Structure 1
Amino acid sequence: MHPLIAAPFLSDRLVLLPGSGQGLKISPLHFAELHHRAANDGLVPDWLSSAVSRHWAADISGCTLRDVMLVRDVSPYGYVRASWEIDKGCDYDCPHCYLGQKKFEGISAKHKLRLLKIMRDAGVVWLQITGGEPLIDRHFPLVYQAAHELGMMVAVSSNGSQLHKPLIRDLFTRHRPYRLTLSVYGATADTYDGFTRNRGAFDRFSRGLAAAKEADLPVRLNIIVGEHNAHEIPAMKALAEDHGFPHQVYTNMSPTIDGGAEPLPTQAADYLRKRFPFTGCNAGHTFFHADPFARASICKVGRDPQIDLMTEGVEGLRRLGGIADSLQLRTGGCSGCQLSGTCWTCRPLAKLYQEAKAPRKTYCQHSDGR
């Protein structure tokens, strides 16, 4: 297993260490040198061994480069980040979930490995694996390790219920994630189990937190606030601080990906946060999302139209930029609006709110009609 990665990232060239939140920026000339040395069994250059020693306190001097580093090829497709919904299935039944119906379904292990290679060929360096609950997918250990071996910095979004299990703990210890983002739904068993509608969930989550801390994994906690757990916000923050994990608080729920309104009533009205104007994003241009059937879309929200990567392969992604541009047009209920430059939400998200028949004030700051 290579401990280091050299990879293109847009116009930059980076040296990365899996599991580390830091990296080195190198010149295109130095990157070309690494590519040549790796292809010809060359030794680690002195400038690299010195930089790695200073940055990560690691000694790679005198080593054959390909033994300590994977040098990624430059991709013509220009995608550097991706998220992958490996499975929509989940061991929780949270009422706020944006996925709606959570079925255990998707592609085979063989096709999952093929999808990872398509992502590699597209240029993806940072990959977020999510769900559903990704850690309960039977192929997760296989694809997680494969993503590392392909030279990706892997982040995982999870509810933490499986972290205490030796298989998962050992996997993350051997191949450290770039980031492990865990959702928090309560600070007591009554509140947490009630929110997730899963008896014993808080106990499993607590054991997972303890295991992550013991293994010194790079955890970040997302505190999810709804009407049934808002009273425990201070306690949930204290839980994060007691473990030494950074945290963020999320209070605004979204409709389901099918435009269902079910998550919206779960919001704690007194804790909703003001949205800021949407100023654009790189969805569909340097980032894409893949669902459990390897269908690519511009993001988790704008899912239609999709590109079947198992049928079209990496070449299908060449159409995604045009799809992204078309989805951002102000259409439907926003047609003719002269204030779209200060919208709170992107057009695909506004469309979901409209399909959910949500009050306009939930997605548009111009709801007073002026």
Structure 2
Amino acid sequence: MTPPIEWESEETFWNRLFAKAGTQRVPIAAALEVTYGCNLRCVHCFNPTHQAKGELATRQITAILDQLAEVGCFQVGFTGGEIFTRRDVFEILAYAKTKGFAVTVLTNATLITPERADRLKAIRPHSIEISIYGATRETYERVTRIPGSFQHFLTGVQLLRERTVPLLIKMPVMTLNQHEIEQAKALVEGWGIKFVYCSDIHPRVDGSLEPLQYRLTPEDVIRIDDVVLGSERWSAAGGTKKEGSCPRPPSGQLFTCNCGMNSLAVTPYGRMNLCVALPTPGYDLLNAEGWRRLVEFVDEANARPGPAYECPTCALHDHCRQGPMDAWLATGRLEVCLPHFKELATLEQHVVELVRPEQDRPAPGTSSPGRTEPS
């Protein structure tokens, strides 16, 4: 008798695919910013402009998609700005599908109309990821600074739900909306949609620190993680499950994420970067040679991170949520340890020790053992 086939979950498939691509240094995932134009004016946005001047034309974007396919890219996330401020967005998405890409659409959903919802369903995206900024009109529009945007958001989500396209709703948590995270989670899950959140608020890519006034304190980050994740927050090894943060490998290398391993980002002007929020190194070349240079940039940074680099010997390493992007946006250097993240890691380590089973705790005078694999 033939044994039943054991199907792996979608999450397991993607994790396995990304791990293999990272080992072989194949750029299977790309974030393609098709515009910086946006109809909202969110207080925390790391994009310093909402204008769409001199951006790539349709034919230039389709040429980039051709080049991404040539270097082995499999998944493309289309983001902005707000992608639906581009009149040619469906032409771009349809072309991406003809190239065989798994298409992810990132949007605030406020510009979704019945016609656009129909066209999105016809494209059959892998996923549509929508941002939510609050569970009430008052809070949502305090963040977006656009009257009426909350109702447009609700309408857009409803139109997409009616067409049963795959949805994910994400909440950037900040001082203005932290009091509504449980309410937002209940709202989204009541729609039958997966809810995720992230407490990372970054400086703007032009160096402005203005968005940081809306960043949560380390105490609030820990509290919200505990409220939303509950007992699932802690792993058996005493580490943490961090929403939206980079994994920390045992080597303590500078780049711990997929940047330069299996992913890249492209700006609306055709420059290739490590990720959307890390506008460096800004190569104009987007082909196999350009990807090789990006890999070399990451490898060089890992091999010689700089004089301020102390991560491998830091006792807080396993609990740290800082990545090179955070340091670069705040200081212009990739390796600098930032006080906010050090304080957060200290608090997290303390909480871990309080909840960790006694038999798993290190002996007095010793440090926690390093992880044997990325979390």
With normalisation by structure 2, the TM-score equals: 0.71
Contact between 1:148 and 1:175, CA under 8 Å: does it hold in 2?
Answer: yes
- Choose 139-148 or 327-336, whichever is displaced more: 327-336
The number of residue pairs the alignment matches comes to 295
Give the corresponding residue for 2:31: 83
Instruction: State the AA in 2 paired with 1:296.
Output: M
Distance apart, 1:209 and its partner CA:
1.0
Give the corresponding residue for 2:329: 352
Give the corresponding residue for 2:157: 209
Tell me how far apart the structure 1 counterparts of residues 107 and 94 of structure 2 sit (CA, whole Å).
17
Give the corresponding residue for 2:342: 364
- SS of equivalent residue, structure 2 residue 275: coil
- 2:273 is aligned with 1:293: no
Could you tell me which of 242, 245, 263 is aligned with 2:193?
245
Instruction: State the AA in 2 paired with 1:315.
Output: E
Give the corresponding residue for 1:222: 170
Give the corresponding residue for 2:308: 334
- 2:143 is aligned with 1:173: no
Go from structure 1 to structure 2 and tell me whether the alpha carbon gap of 1:326 and 1:138 turns closer, same or farther (over 3 Å shift).
farther
Q: What residue ranges of structure 1 are gaps of 5+ in the alignment?
A: 1-19, 26-75
Give the corresponding residue for 2:107: 158
Give the corresponding residue for 2:260: 284
- SS of equivalent residue, structure 2 residue 327: helix
Contact between 1:221 and 1:248, CA under 8 Å: does it hold in 2?
Answer: yes
Give the corresponding residue for 2:291: 317
Residues 59-208 of structure 1 aligned to structure 2 (within 5 Å): 78-105=26-53, 106-163=55-112, 165-208=113-156
Instruction: State the AA in 2 paired with 1:223.
Output: M
Contact between 2:278 and 2:329, CA under 8 Å: does it hold in 1?
Answer: no
Distance apart, 1:21 and its partner CA:
5.7
Contact between 2:27 and 2:264, CA under 8 Å: does it hold in 1?
Answer: yes
Percent identity for Structure 1 against Structure 2: 26
Instruction: State the AA in 2 paired with 1:324.
Output: V
Instruction: State the AA in 2 paired with 1:298.
Output: L
Tell me how far apart the structure 1 counterparts of residues 27 and 180 of structure 2 sit (CA, whole Å).
40
- SS of equivalent residue, structure 1 residue 144: helix
Contact between 1:302 and 1:327, CA under 8 Å: does it hold in 2?
Answer: no
- SS of equivalent residue, structure 2 residue 294: helix
Distance apart, 1:239 and its partner CA:
1.2
Contact between 1:21 and 1:178, CA under 8 Å: does it hold in 2?
Answer: no
Go from structure 1 to structure 2 and tell me whether the alpha carbon gap of 1:307 and 1:205 turns closer, same or farther (over 3 Å shift).
same
Tell me how far apart the structure 2 counterparts of residues 241 and 125 of structure 1 sit (CA, whole Å).
29
Give the corresponding residue for 2:368: none
Give the corresponding residue for 1:231: 179
Contact between 1:329 and 1:347, CA under 8 Å: does it hold in 2?
Answer: no
Contact between 1:189 and 1:203, CA under 8 Å: does it hold in 2?
Answer: yes
Instruction: State the AA in 2 paired with 1:125.
Output: F
Go from structure 1 to structure 2 and tell me whether the alpha carbon gap of 1:186 and 1:339 turns closer, same or farther (over 3 Å shift).
same
Task: Choose between structure 1 and 2: higher strand proportion.
Answer: 1
- SS of equivalent residue, structure 2 residue 34: strand
Tell me how far apart the structure 2 counterparts of residues 231 and 242 of structure 1 sit (CA, whole Å).
19
Distance apart, 1:155 and its partner CA:
0.4
Go from structure 1 to structure 2 and tell me whether the alpha carbon gap of 1:333 and 1:135 turns closer, same or farther (over 3 Å shift).
farther
Instruction: State the AA in 1 paired with 2:327.
Output: A
Relative contact order (C-alpha < 8 Å, sep 6+): which is higher? 2
Q: Kindly provide the CA deviation profile for residues 6-64 of structure 1, in whole angstroms up to 9, marking residues without a partner as x.
A: xxxxxxxxxxxxxx969999xxxxxxxxxxxxxxxxxxxxxxxxxxxxxxxxxxxxxxx
Tell me how far apart the structure 2 counterparts of residues 268 and 366 of structure 1 sit (CA, whole Å).
10
Instruction: State the AA in 1 paired with 2:328.
Output: K
Go from structure 1 to structure 2 and tell me whether the alpha carbon gap of 1:219 and 1:209 turns closer, same or farther (over 3 Å shift).
same
- SS of equivalent residue, structure 1 residue 288: strand
Go from structure 1 to structure 2 and tell me whether the alpha carbon gap of 1:360 and 1:202 turns closer, same or farther (over 3 Å shift).
same
- SS of equivalent residue, structure 2 residue 92: helix
Contact between 2:128 and 2:166, CA under 8 Å: does it hold in 1?
Answer: yes
Give the corresponding residue for 2:362: none
Tell me how far apart the structure 1 counterparts of residues 205 and 302 of structure 2 sit (CA, whole Å).
16
- SS of equivalent residue, structure 1 residue 364: helix
Q: Kindly provide the CA deviation profile for residues 97-149 of structure 1, in whole angstroms up to 9, marking residues without a partner as x.
A: 12222321311111011111111111111111111111222221111000001
Go from structure 1 to structure 2 and tell me whether the alpha carbon gap of 1:363 and 1:331 turns closer, same or farther (over 3 Å shift).
farther
Q: What residue ranges of structure 2 are gaps of 5+ in the alignment?
A: 1-8, 15-23, 226-241, 250-255, 347-375
Instruction: State the AA in 1 paired with 2:248.
Output: F
Tell me how far apart the structure 2 counterparts of residues 282 and 367 of structure 1 sit (CA, whole Å).
22
- SS of equivalent residue, structure 1 residue 199: coil
Tell me how far apart the structure 1 counterparts of residues 343 and 124 of structure 2 sit (CA, whole Å).
42
Go from structure 1 to structure 2 and tell me whether the alpha carbon gap of 1:117 and 1:231 turns closer, same or farther (over 3 Å shift).
same
